Structure 1
Amino acid sequence: MSASPSITVPLHQAAHGRTGDKGNRSNISVIAWHPALWPALVEQVTPAAVALQFAHRQPTAVRRYLLPHLQAMNFVLDDVLDGGVNDTLNLDSHGKALSFLLLELPLQLDARLLPHLRSAR
């Protein structure tokens, strides 16, 4: 029996995100589009992978909280908002757009999961 081929897709085809912030800390939730995608998300969307995706923002800590019954995870990134709303000249000091950066993370998926992905729009 041969293994199913793998495909590479951006995370946004497998999940959607929500973002919040408080001070210099950003929360980014990642929610699978389909339960069949959850195991691959847990395996690949790790604190280390997220820290690497945000390396240019130099987070001092990245923590992941799993919510398996919701097929969701929440990341807390410390010190990624240039000081926060009151302390920065950054145009997006709220960090609302940071989920889009995370949703570009490439995933390696079994091709059999293709029917559960959202197509690029």
Structure 2
Amino acid sequence: MTVITQGARLVEAPLHRIAHGRTGDKGNRINISLIAWREDLYPLLREQVTADRVAALFAHRHPGRVQRFELPQLWALNFVIDDVLEGGVNDALNLDGHGKTHSYLLLSLPVRIPEDL
């Protein structure tokens, strides 16, 4: 395991450089799990991927509430985002009422990571 040292030069990169995601949906709610590629990357997720940042990223979908749950044993965060699927699969007029693809939006979020990553 690589250990991220204090004082390392930081650069901005998309979140997918340090994590992957899985998404599910139920009604008008999506559930996005964000999982660090390695244990030493988990603290970067905890520090930078907040419920407020996720709410801002999904602002164009008008989320009602964003909750973040920490799963340190899995090196993961789980976000539950309400009211972003235009009513859900059965009510939405858009092409993709499912939340399956929304993890890609989250994985585009810019984060600051050590340059050597």
**What TM-score comes out, normalization by structure 2 length?**
0.92
- Give the aligned residue type for 1:29: S
- Give the aligned residue type for 2:81: L
- Give the aligned residue type for 2:37: W
Please report how far the alpha carbon of residue 76 of structure 1 lies from its aligned counterpart in structure 2 after TM superposition.
0.2
* Gap runs ≥5 in structure 1: 115-121
- SS at structure 2 position matched to 1:90: coil
* Residues paired across the two proteins, number: 112
Residue matched to 1:70? 74
* Gap runs ≥5 in structure 2: 1-5
- Give the aligned residue type for 1:101: L
1:58 aligns with 2:62: yes
Task: Output the CA distance in 1 between the equivalents of 2:29 and 2:8.
Answer: 40
Residue matched to 2:84? 80
Deviations 1:83-114 (A, max 9, x none): 001111111101111000000000011225x1
- Give the aligned residue type for 1:24: N
Residue matched to 1:106? 110
Task: Output the CA distance in 2 between the equivalents of 1:56 and 1:82.
Answer: 12
Task: Output the CA distance in 2 between the equivalents of 1:4 and 1:34.
Answer: 18
Residue matched to 1:96? 100
Residue matched to 2:9? 5
User: What is the root-mean-square deviation in Å for CA atoms of aligned residues?
Assistant: 1.2
Task: Output the CA distance in 2 between the equivalents of 1:73 and 1:28.
Answer: 8
Q: Percent identity?
A: 59
